[in-house]
């Protein structure tokens, strides 16, 4: 026993004083990695020399599956690409195949898509900001965030019958019209949300300890963000106003007026972790604005365009780009004229965020790496597909 203690003390002294490097596998089963990802981290004491993400633990071959099932049959699989915000994964795929077929969803369906998508964005951002607070060490906000997310899930469940894997979109429209009385429920929730965000800010956003922990940490400059191809809130957190909903508008979005929040460096530098965090909080309010406008203007009419049960698009290729909760989501579909895709490719926001981690991790503290990973809002299945 005594000898053990002696050796232990020796080891402790060595790691304290020498600059010997230790390689730590941070992950793949670690609660702070937001899924099954491994960060191979070279450390000297508390300082990280370099951290390289090792992805692929959740690879399920979803792109290959796209070549093996029919076009409509692939829709439930897109849910599994990003299960925290499945609406956008649905929508991107539906858009790509619709372009391939040369059809367009009827206006009512496009509005319903926008409403469902923005509800989904709210629920996804609550997970993002809640888990971020948990990773920093504040346990309460996640439970609050999850409670709000459950209310959104209740609404979506009423609309399409599922809480997580929605499978709501169809090629050429959506599967269900809004049930009777649903829009009132949504409006009631939005009223609650608008006031709740203020409570959320009091609870955590402006908490001085939280701010100190995030401000000036993991700063991504404007140039870096563009060079590394970041998308979505991670890009906007660095002050770049780029949003597919406005700049490459699709569906019903040209009809809505909404702001695009960007990072301002309120407590530190533009592009730090707090900026990325607060962009998400503000985006929830913008989503609420969009849903209100969409519900007010919701046109009557069909919710499905005329599509064959097993459509066979002409040979060609098409791209569907949507602004998902984690940034741009791009589907690239190649058809060879049969009822299955010849090639299907998905480009997702979380995967693009992995590239910058090695750059950001040089010379930071171990605890800051967790803040950076959380602030990039990584969802492991979306990285690996």
Binding residues for other proteins, rule: CB under 8 A, are 69-70, 72-77, 140, 147, 157-162, 165, 167, 175-176, 179, 199, 202-204, 206-209, 309
**Whose Cβ is closer to other proteins: residue 206's or residue 297's?**
206
Q: How far apart are CA 325 and CA 270, in angstroms?
A: 21
Q: In the complex, what is the shortest distance from the CB of residue 120 to other proteins, in angstroms, rounded to a whole number?
A: 17
- For residue 264, the minimal CB distance to other proteins (Å) is 19
> 42 has which bridge partners?
23, 50
- Measured over the CA atoms of residue 75, residue 187, residue 206 and residue 230, the dihedral's sign is positive
Beta carbon of residue 186, minimum distance to other proteins (angstroms, whole number): 14
Nearest-approach distance from CB 19 to other proteins, in angstroms = 32
- Which is nearer to other proteins, 200 or 242 (by Cβ)? 200
CB of 320 to other proteins, least distance (A): 19
Q: How far is the CB of 384 from other proteins (least distance, A)?
A: 19
Phi-psi region of 45 (alpha: psi -120 to 50; beta: other; left: phi over 0): left
Q: What is d(CA 279, CA 285) in angstroms, rounded to the nearest whole number?
A: 10
Query: Would you say 159 or 344 has its CB closer to other proteins?
Result: 159
State the Cα angle at 162 between 145 and 115, rounded to 5°.
Answer: 70
CB 78 within 8 A of CB 93: yes
Q: Which is nearer to other proteins, 33 or 205 (CB)?
A: 205
Output 150 or 359, the one with its CB closest to other proteins.
150
DSSP letters spanning 61-114: -HHHHTTTSBTGGGHHHHHTTSTTSHHHHHHHHHHHHHHHHT----HHHHHHHH
Closest to other proteins by CB, 26 or 168: 168
Six-digit token pair at 336?
């060879």
């Amino acid at each position: 026993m005594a000898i053990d203690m002696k050796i232990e003390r020796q080891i402790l002294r060595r790691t304290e004083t020498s600059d010997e490097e230790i390689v730590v596998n941070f992950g793949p089963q670690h609660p702070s990695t937001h899924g099954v990802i491994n960060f191979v981290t070279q450390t000297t004491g508390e300082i990280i020399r370099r951290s390289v993400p090792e992805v692929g633990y959740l690879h399920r071959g979803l792109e290959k599956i796209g070549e093996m099932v029919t076009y409509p049959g692939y829709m439930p699989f897109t849910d599994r690409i990003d299960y925290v915000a499945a609406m956008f994964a649905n929508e991107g795929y539906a858009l790509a195949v619709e372009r391939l077929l040369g059809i367009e969803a009827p206006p009512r369906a496009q509005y319903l898509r926008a409403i469902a998508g923005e509800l989904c964005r709210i629920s996804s951002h609550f997970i993002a900001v809640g888990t971020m607070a948990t990773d920093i060490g504040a346990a309460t906000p996640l439970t609050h965030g999850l409670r709000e997310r459950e209310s959104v899930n209740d609404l979506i469940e009423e609309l399409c019958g599922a809480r997580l894997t929605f499978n709501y979109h169809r090629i050429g429209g959506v599967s269900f019209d809004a049930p009777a009385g649903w829009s009132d429920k949504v409006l009631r929730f939005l009223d609650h949300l608008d006031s709740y965000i203020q409570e959320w800010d009091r609870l955590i956003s402006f908490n001085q300890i939280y701010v100190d922990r995030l401000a000036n940490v993991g700063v991504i400059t404007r140039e870096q963000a563009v060079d590394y191809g970041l998308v979505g809130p991670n890009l906007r957190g660095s002050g770049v106003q780029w949003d597919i909903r406005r700049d490459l508008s699709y569906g019903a979005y040209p009809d809505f007026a909404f702001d695009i929040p960007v990072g301002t460096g309120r407590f530190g530098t533009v592009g730090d972790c707090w900026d990325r965090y607060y962009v998400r909080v503000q985006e929830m309010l913008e989503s609420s604005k969009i849903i209100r406008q969409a519900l007010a203007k919701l046109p009557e009419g069909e919710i499905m365009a005329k599509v064959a049960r097993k459509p066979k698009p002409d040979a060609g290729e098409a791209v569907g780009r949507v602004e998902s909760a984690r940034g741009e989501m791009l589907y690239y579909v190649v058809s060879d004229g049969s009822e299955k895709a010849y090639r299907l490719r998905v480009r997702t926001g979380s995967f693009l965020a992995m590239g910058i981690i090695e750059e950001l991790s040089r010379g930071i503290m171990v605890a800051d790496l967790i803040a950076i990973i959380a602030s990039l809002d990584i969802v492991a299945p979306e990285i690996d597909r």
